[in-house]
């Protein structure tokens, strides 16, 4: 072993260096993908709170399925692909949130217009009574 190490010292160092590098890169990717999935999960919780599943169900489901895919990829140790899917989940969640806010604004607008119509009717009644 000692003779082998002495004889192939330079090659052994190079192999060990590459192996360490691969290990470190793999660990870093694992941490990054876990962080991305956590970010996506937080975004999902946020859009659940604004009732995105009711107001923007397609976008909500798109985000949810991508998050699920990311989780499965992590289990299969495909961290880079998992990060991509988690990123997609985050951006899909962003779309679901904006869509939800736009739909809610639509509803508020309709309600406010209905209130105005009702107030105008009331006003006409008062004017007739006077």
Cβ of 72: how many Cβ atoms within 10 Å?
Answer: 13
Q: What is the largest CA-CA distance in the chain?
A: 113
CB pairs under 8 A, 24+ apart, for 4-12? Answer: none
Counting contacts by CB under 8 A, is residue 108 touching another protein? yes
Q: Which is nearer to another protein, 9 or 120 (CB)?
A: 120
Cβ of 104: how many Cβ atoms within 10 Å?
Answer: 13
Counting contacts by CB under 8 A, is residue 126 touching another protein? yes
Q: Which is nearer to another protein, 18 or 114 (CB)?
A: 114
Which chain residues interact with another protein by CB under 8 A? 81, 84, 87-88, 91-92, 94-95, 98-99, 101-102, 105-106, 108-109, 112-113, 115-116, 119-120, 122-123, 126-127, 129-130
């Amino acid at each position: 072993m000692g003779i082998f190490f002495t004889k192939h010292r330079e090659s052994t160092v190079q192999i060990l260096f590459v192996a360490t590098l691969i290990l470190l890169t793999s660990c870093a990717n694992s941490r990054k993908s876990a962080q991305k999935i956590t970010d996506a999960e937080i975004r999902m919780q946020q859009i659940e709170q604004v009732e995105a599943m009711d107001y923007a169900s397609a976008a909500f489901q798109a985000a949810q399925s991508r998050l699920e895919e990311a989780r499965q990829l992590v289990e299969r140790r495909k961290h880079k692909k998992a990060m991509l899917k988690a990123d997609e989940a985050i951006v899909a969640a962003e779309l679901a949130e904006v869509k939800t806010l736009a739909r809610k604004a639509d509803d508020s607008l309709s309600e406010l217009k209905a209130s105005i119509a009702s107030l105008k009717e009331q006003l006409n009644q008062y004017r007739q009574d006077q």
